[in-house]
Amino acid sequence: MLHYAVVFFVIALVAALFGFGGIAAGAAGIAKILFFVFVVLAVATSLVGLMRR
């Protein structure tokens, strides 16, 4: 999931470079959502792993 966030971030950077502001904003928004979902899942997995010990 983190990989997809980075891919959308790169797409946003390239789109912004070429002047496609709407596409860049959309890709950046998707990248932000995917990053936060990744962080939440990583924390949840860490907590479950600690509770199993």
> What residue ranges do the domains of the chain occupy?
2-52
> For 3-27, what is the mean pLDDT?
91
Cβ atoms of residues 27 and 10 within 8 Å: no
Distance CA 49, CA 53 (A): 7
Give 52 or 1, the one with higher predicted confidence.
52
**Has this prediction a pTM greater than 0.85?**
no
Percentage of the chain beyond pLDDT 70 is: 100
Q: What is the DSSP secondary-structure string of the chain?
A: -HHHHHHHHHHHHHHHHTT-HHHHHHHHHHHHHHHHHHHHHHHHHHHHHHHH-
pLDDT digits (tens, 9 = 90+) for 31-51: 999 999 999 999 999 999 999
